[in-house]
A and B are shown apart, each in its own frame.
Chain A
Amino acid sequence: MSTLLEVRDLHVEVAGEEILHGVDLTIPEGEVHALFGPNGSGKTSLMMTIMGFSGYEITQGAVLFDGKDITDLDVTERARLGIGVAQQRPPTITGVQLHQVLDYAVDNGLCPREHLQELLAQARLDDFLTRDINGGLSGGEIRRSEILQLMVTQPRFAMMDEPDSGVDVEAMKLVGQMLNELFSLETSHPAKRRTGLIITHTGQILNYIQADKGHVMMRGELACSGNPRLIFDTACTSGYEICVQCINGVEV
């Protein structure tokens, strides 16, 4: 399949300090990849850089989407090309309500109104429509709200940051269901689904969604890539440091 996202030798500075030190990542269309790694290793920074958020300054390298260099595009342009994110800690915007974003998507033909109603009921977010966006939401509610916005805006490439952290067991089921729907198989030949990148340091989400490939971020570099289950199980039993050594060892 063709490559949808390509990150080439990406160096990124945050607040004047280099955080990503030459990341290469290729995600073919129709695949969902998992991104593992300890806290502070640079996972969120990679996602935010791909979306084009200011504050993540690319000092070297490039981001390509569908074969096009998007390094100089702003966030809106990237969103309109089909890149979407579910942030882990999205900002609260006083006076701007969730329905305004959803209405925007409906008004621009991204999602039929009736379908939005169904999704809202499924995500149990009806009561949040007229509240400030992300204002006073619990961890689980933020996950649901963010994933709902992805389901409504229908990006070709959906990224999400730690959908399984800060969520209790019950809420996790619902988040898992929603993600399953977001990455459901389309009836086509060959069978394909939405392309995605799921950041997880707990790995819990793998119980709900099949990832095609896993990557480990360590200190701002992708230390290894491979079978997501295998990588994660190794990381769980021996910790990321050992995991990376092991797999690097095998590869060398």
Chain B
Amino acid sequence: MKKTRSAIDNQTTNTETDLIPLNQVDETDAAALAEVGVIVDARQRSGTYIQRDHKPLCIMAQNEGLELLPIAQALEMYPWVRENYYWNLVSPNQDEITQHCAAQKVPQGFFIRVKKGVKIDKPCQASLYMAHTNITQAIHNIIILEEGAELHLITGCVSQHQVHTGLHYAVSEHYIGKHATLTSTMIHSWGPEVIVRPHAGTSVEEGGTFVNNYVSLRPAGDILSRPTTWLNGKGASAKYFTVILGSKGSEITTGGDVYLNAEGTSAEIAHRGVCTGGHLNQEGLLIGNAPCRAHVDCAGMLVDPGVDGYIESIPGLRATHPDARMSHEASIGKIAPEEVEYLQSRGIEEREAISMIIRGFLDADIEGLGPELDARIAEIAELAGHGE
């Protein structure tokens, strides 16, 4: 801890001076970013925030009504951010990660606001990018969608391929106003020994929608993610969709709590995990405090788990209101040989057949996910072929 803290203290506040336009991001960086859905073609995105190691590298917002700032600047400009939003959904004293983030002199991360009634059609992208080894990124993001606003945010977190170790701490607070819709797609691709600790809190008002896609392609050694969402307004809804491709030595827990606090709220948690070694824990607790509907579904596929690999699924339900209708299901299995051979009997190669089945199992039709997912599936299919 000591070492990382001093690294942060040495940082300067020159956020503005070093910024470059999106099309000047160098090739190595651009390639790493593309893996996680962050692209250098500004025409396909409504806004961009890229943080490289500790510093913002590129910040642009093309749309009227979309505001995108470094969090430090937003705190200076708008006193109400600190008063009403900063550390409002996540407690700075929750654990050592939040304490670490709260202790920074100059907070890192971004602030996004979509103004009332503004629907942003192209995705906005943000990247927290590790270009050097042994770095601690401590991020604090705030996203506010005012009444009736819509935004798809793609957050790509990636370390350059030679980066094996590092720490990524992230606090995110999302405020979804009445009838607003936030689709947050987070794509992670980390080095094998990076430790990842996201802490997200989301509040959703009446008629608002929160869609949270989380995809981990090249999993870090250690990920623990338990976001919390409060559905506070009538008819608010949340959907978590998590896709984890595990690998040897990784320890990954993804879950999250959703509080259904108002009439007509609904929530759905869906986990898809493929284990090729390492430990994969699928969690998720739905808490029905009002007449609501909720469902949690965990599905795991063991492809080549090795000696100590596993998937553990613990879908959870808690109902405090008699009109809470809640259900869960969980299944873990392997790739069925008769399914692979069925496709083979049509002339399809074994590897391709396995890829088709894994792709079908993951059912991840997520905007922003590029060929990288297919590439990873092909790698896993290769392992499955050898595992026969």
A95 within 8 Å of B by Cβ? yes
Given A53-B341, A91-B336, A95-B360, output 14 extra A-B contacts at Cβ < 8 Å.
A51-B345, A52-B341, A54-B341, A55-B338, A74-B344, A76-B350, A78-B345, A84-B345, A87-B342, A93-B339, A93-B343, A95-B359, A96-B360, A132-B360
- Min CB–CB distance A160 → chain B (angstroms): 12
| CB <8 Å contact, B361 and A94 | yes
Contact with A along B319-351 (1 / 0, CB 8 A): 000000000000000001111011111111110
Is A153's beta carbon under 8 Å from chain B? yes
Question: Quick check: A91 and B346 within 8 Å, CB to CB?
Answer: no
The B contact surface, by secondary structure, is helix
Residues of B within 8 A of A80 (CB): 347
Bound state CA distance, A85 and B350, in angstroms? Answer: 17
The answer for the CA separation of A80 and B357 in the assembled complex, in Å, is 20
Say yes or no: A76-B360 contact (C-beta < 8 A), given A91-B336, A91-B338. no
The interface residues of chain B lying within 8 Å CB-to-CB of A26 are none
Residue A79 interfacial (CB < 8 Å): yes
A105 and B346 contacting across the interface, CB-CB below 8 Å: yes
Chain B contacts for A94, CB-based, 8 A: 360-361
Contact A75 B356 (CB under 8 A): no
Chain A residues, Cβ within 8 Å of B341 = 52-54, 75
From B337, B347, B362, give the contact of A54 (CB < 8 A): B337
6 A–B contact pairs at CB < 8 A? Answer: A53-B338, A91-B339, A93-B343, A94-B360, A95-B357, A110-B347
Q: How large is the interface on A (under 10, 10 to 19, 20 to 34, 35 or more residues)?
A: 20 to 34
Q: CA of A149 to CA of B361 in the docked complex: distance in angstroms?
A: 22
Assess whether A95 is in contact with B344, with CB atoms less than 8 Å apart.
Answer: no
Q: Is the CB of A55 within 8 A of B337?
A: yes
Per-residue interface assignment for chain A, residues 86 to 121, with 1 indicating a CB less than 8 Å from any chain B CB and 0 otherwise: 010011011111001100110010100000000000
Q: Once the chains bind, are A79 and B342 in contact (CB under 8 Å)?
A: no
A85 to B343, CA, bound (A): 11
Total interface residues in chain B, CB < 8 Å:
22
Say yes or no: A76 contacts B361, CB within 8 Å: no
Is chain A's interface secondary structure helix, strand, loop, or mixed overall?
A: mixed
Are A96 and B357 in touch, CB under 8 angstroms?
yes
* B-to-A contact residues, CB < 8 Å: 336-339, 341-350, 353, 356-357, 359-363
Complex interface residues of chain A between 217 and 237 (CB less than 8 A to chain B): none
3 smallest beta-carbon distances between A and B, as pairs: A95-B360, A75-B344, A96-B360
Contact residue among B342, B353, B357, B361 (Cβ-Cβ distance under 8 Å from A90): B342
| Contact of A76 with B337 in the complex, beta carbons under 8 Å | no
Contact: B344 with A101, CB < 8 Å?
no
Q: In the complex, which residue of chain B has the Cβ closest to the Cβ of A108?
A: B347
Query: Which residue of A is nearest B348, CB measured?
Result: A104
Q: How far is the CB of A131 from chain B (nearest CB, A)?
A: 12
CB-defined contacts of B349 to chain A, threshold 8 Å: 76
Residue in B closest to A75 when the chains form the complex, CB atoms: B344
Q: How far is the CA of A17 from the CA of B341 in the complex (A)?
A: 22
> Would you give the shortest CB distance from A79 to chain B, in whole angstroms?
4
User: Cα distance A84–B344 when bound, in Å?
Assistant: 10
Instruction: Convert A51-90 into 0s and 1s, putting 1 for each residue whose CB lies closer than 8 angstroms to a CB of B.
Output: 1111100000000000000000011101110001101001
CB distance from A48 to the nearest CB of B (A): 9
Q: Which residues of A contact B342 (CB under 8 A)?
A: 87, 90-91, 93, 133
Question: Using Cβ atoms and an 8 Å threshold, which residues of chain A touch B348?
Answer: 76, 101, 104
Q: How far does the alpha carbon of A54 sit from the alpha carbon of B388 in the complex, in Å?
A: 11
Taking a contact as CB atoms closer than 8 A, the residue among A55, A76, A93 that contacts B347 in the complex is: A76
Does the CB pair B357–A93 fall under 8 Å? yes
| Assembly CA distance A203 to B350 (angstroms) | 35
Bound: A79/B361 CA distance, A: 25
Whole-angstrom CA separation of A85 from B344 in the bound complex: 11
Q: Is the pair B345, A85 in contact by a Cβ cutoff of 8 Å?
A: yes
For B352, give the chain A residue with the smallest CB separation.
Answer: A104
> Residue on B with the closest CB to A90?
B342
A104 in contact with B346 given A53-B338, A75-B341, A91-B338 (CB within 8 Å): yes
* A104 CB contacts on chain B under 8 angstroms: 346-348
Which of chain A's residues have a CB closer than 8 A to the CB of B356? 93, 96, 100
Chain B residues, CB < 8 A from A76: 344, 347-350, 353
In angstroms, Cα B346 to Cα A87, docked, is 12
Residue of A nearest to B388 (CB): A54
How many angstroms from the CA of A101 to the CA of B346 in the assembled complex?
7
Nearest-CB residue, chain A, relative to B362: A95
Interface centre among B341, B347, B349, B359 (most CB of A within 10 A): B347
Which residues of A in the span 229-250 have a Cβ within 8 Å of any Cβ on B? none
Given A94-B360, A94-B361, A100-B356, verify A105-B347 contact (CB < 8 Å): yes
CB proximity of B354 to chain A, nearest CB, Å? 11
The CB with the most chain B CB atoms within 10 A, among A51, A100, A108, is that of A100
